[in-house]
Structure 1
Amino acid sequence: MTGRAPRTLWVSTSTTTQGGIATCVRTLSATGLWERWGVRHVATHRDGSSATKALTFARGLVRYAAEMVLRRPDLVHIHMSSAGSFVRKAALAWLAYLLRVPVVLHVHSGRFHLFHDRAPAPVRRVIAATLSRADVVIALGELMRSRLAAIAPDARLTSLPNPVPISPVTRRPAGAAPHVVFLGRIWDKKGAFALLEAWAKVGAGGGHLTMAGDGEHERARTTARELGVADSVTVHDWLSTAQVDELLADADVLALPSENEGQPMVVLEAMSRGLAVLATRVGGIPEIVSDGVEGLLVPSHDAGALADALGDLLADEGRRRALGEAGAARARAEFAADAVSARIEGIYHEVLSGRGQRARGPVSSPSLRSDT
């Protein structure tokens, strides 16, 4: 790199894709990190049909190979999830390993350990080898870092929070009917229908619930009608970034009673805007939301606790505001995009200076042989 600007290659889903990885990539790209590190982005996945996804990966693979051979980046930063995302990104990581290009693997999935544990033994070996061979593996929080360490004890792991752009805190008029928002896939694993049942149990508390995201929209609308709360519930399809901003600016509480999570971007976005958070005590959520400080945390699959916490927030405007103010302060102090971007740059410097790299022997792909 002496005498020239760095060349960095980022690989992820398309920045127009729905979900947390695309949001993370978009947020970091706006900090100036890409300009300072000469980042070129390759998309290997996007929303759409199976044919669209296959074509996107094929095109991404060709472009990635061309970038690696013709431009030869100084560093590759690969954003991956689990399941199919891991398969795609592992293939790209091993090409970089073979060409001896430093690799940073950024693991976003809160269910990665479950994907590993349920995989056949040969696939588990591939997973462990892929993590161990990377120069650095970034986990979203300490819980995920410890789970990855159990999978690949030799991997060089660090934890990093998701970045959040700091938005103005908007306050709704005092005495306004409380507005609760759910953002994410509308299905059981995100707790969408448990939230509707809790909403009905507390009698809507004089407020309004807005649900938005992909998933089972008609089932949600039907459930709201059957529970007698259709008048106080609005169900949207997936919203654009601008529409999400407008929705959060007019909300008091973000509710996310998921079965499992990594470090959900929507929680950080809500905190940065001064919303109180109602979520389950799962995955990385307790690392970013302290129960009773920035929000209320309840056990997963505990309908009574969820309804009680929801009722408390609907009934107490002062508490909602206090939790929201604490969340906004923490988001600014710990999760601001510029601060996360600076930490990533520190990782890059460490990797490229040689302190983050191990001595390299001959490189070979992990074995795919079955156990005997």
Structure 2
Amino acid sequence: MKKVIHLGPGESQGGIATVMNNMKSNTPNGYHSEIVNTHCDGSIIQKINVWNNARKLLKRKIRRKDIDIAHIHATHSISWWRKADLKRICKKKSIPVIIHIHSGRFEEFCSSFFGLTGYLVKKILSSGCKVVILEERWRGILRKWIPEDSIVIPNPSYKKISRENIVRKKLHILMLSRNSRGKGHKFAINILRSLESKGVDAKLIMTGITQEEIDSKNRKSVEGKGWVSEKEKKELMLKSDFLIMPSQFEGSSMSVIESMTNFLPCLVSPASSQTIGIDELVIPLDNVEEWSEKIISLSNQDEYDRVVNLITVQSEKYSIENNIKNINSLYDEITRVKLQ
């Protein structure tokens, strides 16, 4: 049985950890996988210690021949250069490498420093690895820097809850996200305010920010949950009527994907248009009123049921079964190339 090591932020907050753990739990037949965590959400010192331990563990596994494939999960900025170092370590010992790009800001990253970053990225990806992107759109966006034979593998998810799909009188609107630049927490509050101005009784629940971080004037109808566990996330999806994702950047939002696989209607910005694959649920970020009006129109039970059916069909591409097939083909290919 061949050994796959997933290298990345497997224990950190965010969608990449969810993807890594889903892949670990659903490894194709003939392969065994484990996660080597490269990041933590603590102090700088803690981050450095976790990183150094990950490098040492990787080198030890290589020495002991306890690795057949290195599956590296990367984003941008410092994360990218750390993962490039892991790729260099593996390439030196002829370990097949997969670079799995999760970032929604990779184009911006490659364009930095007058294009020098992109030049170095292209050089790193030009040999000794297979590149995975999350959606077909990234092939065009990143064409200057990634190999032509890069492959698309959607993030996997599975059905976690059974919802009744009945719209409540008081709408519960959910936003599942980290509190980072471009995620749209303030925009989400503006959507709620627009709904209230139209006489809609609604509540907004947001992860990524705590209740203390919300202005006192908004605390009556806005609930900040901070970071939540998987169990809490399931409960939030179960109690919600809609998910909103008004973000400026997304690689391929796990929050949207998980909502789709659990049949929770979601409205998204253009950054998640290919993720959701339903044009009528994609709304621009220049018009708060359009978001609130769409929520109101979909609150009609017949419309709600129609959208749930659309999402159900689209969610099939994110099934665990499809991911296992895609990953199995990738692993077989990369090990076959090594044997040749």
Instruction: Identify whether the pair has TM-score above 0.5, normalized to the shorter chain.
Output: yes
Equivalent-residue separation in structure 2 for 1:90 and 1:26 (angstroms) = 22
Residues 194 and 288 in structure 2, CA contact (< 8 A), matched pair in contact too:
no
Structure 2: 5+ residue runs without aligned partners? none
Residues 75 and 106 in structure 2, CA contact (< 8 A), matched pair in contact too:
yes
Residues 131 and 155 in structure 1, CA contact (< 8 A), matched pair in contact too:
no
**Aligned pairs for 1:53-202 within 5 A:** 53-71=47-65, 73-119=67-113, 121-152=115-146, 154=147, 156-171=149-164, 173=166, 175-186=168-179, 189-202=182-195
**Aligned pairs for 1:23-62 within 5 A:** 23-33=18-28, 36-62=30-56
Residues 135 and 152 in structure 2, CA contact (< 8 A), matched pair in contact too:
yes
Equivalent-residue separation in structure 2 for 1:179 and 1:321 (angstroms) = 17
Residues 177 and 183 in structure 2, CA contact (< 8 A), matched pair in contact too:
yes
SS at match of 2:94: coil
Q: Which one-letter code corresponds to 1:206 in the other structure?
A: D
Structure 1: 5+ residue runs without aligned partners? 360-372
**Counterpart residue number, 2:274:** 286
Residues 271 and 327 in structure 1, CA contact (< 8 A), matched pair in contact too:
yes
| Distance apart, 1:234 and its partner CA | 1.4
**Counterpart residue number, 1:17:** 12
Q: Which one-letter code corresponds to 2:97 in the other structure?
A: V
SS at match of 2:143: helix
Equivalent-residue separation in structure 2 for 1:121 and 1:201 (angstroms) = 41
Among the aligned pairs, what percent are the same residue?
22
Equivalent-residue separation in structure 2 for 1:57 and 1:188 (angstroms) = 24
C-alpha change, 1:317 and 1:209, in structure 2 (3 Å) is farther
SS at match of 2:170: coil
Q: Which one-letter code corresponds to 1:250 in the other structure?
A: K
Equivalent-residue separation in structure 1 for 2:181 and 2:290 (angstroms) = 17
Q: Deviations over 1:280-315 (max 9, x none)?
A: 012x533433123xxx211123333233323333x4
Equivalent-residue separation in structure 2 for 1:120 and 1:18 (angstroms) = 31
| Distance apart, 1:160 and its partner CA | 1.0
Kindly indicate whether residue 3 of structure 2 is the aligned counterpart of residue 7 of structure 1: yes
Q: Which one-letter code corresponds to 1:323 in the other structure?
A: V
Q: Which one-letter code corresponds to 1:322 in the other structure?
A: R
**Aligned pairs for 1:337-352 within 5 A:** 337-352=320-335
Kindly indicate whether residue 204 of structure 2 is the aligned counterpart of residue 209 of structure 1: yes
Q: Deviations over 1:7-65 (max 9, x none)?
A: 22221113x311011000111222244x7412232111111111110000001111111
Residues 259 and 301 in structure 1, CA contact (< 8 A), matched pair in contact too:
no
Q: Which one-letter code corresponds to 1:114 in the other structure?
A: E
**Aligned pairs for 1:296-335 within 5 A:** 296-313=281-298, 315-331=299-315, 333-335=316-318
Equivalent-residue separation in structure 1 for 2:24 and 2:85 (angstroms) = 24
Q: Which one-letter code corresponds to 1:330 in the other structure?
A: Q
The two structures have a TM-score, normalised by structure 2, of 0.91
Q: Deviations over 1:122-161 (max 9, x none)?
A: 4333211122224310001011122232213x45301111
Q: Which one-letter code corresponds to 2:234 in the other structure?
A: D
Residues 136 and 155 in structure 1, CA contact (< 8 A), matched pair in contact too:
no
| Distance apart, 1:334 and its partner CA | 1.1
SS at match of 1:8: strand
Q: Deviations over 1:322-363 (max 9, x none)?
A: 2123212321x2111221122111111112222xx799xxxx
Q: Which one-letter code corresponds to 1:288 in the other structure?
A: I
Equivalent-residue separation in structure 2 for 1:143 and 1:96 (angstroms) = 29
Equivalent-residue separation in structure 2 for 1:121 and 1:297 (angstroms) = 31
The structure 1 residue matched to 2:248, chosen from 248, 259, 262, is 259
**Aligned pairs for 1:352-371 within 5 A:** 352-354=335-337
Q: Deviations over 1:198-255 (max 9, x none)?
A: 2112217112211112x47544344xx1xxx543221111111100001101111000
The two structures have a TM-score, normalised by structure 1, of 0.84
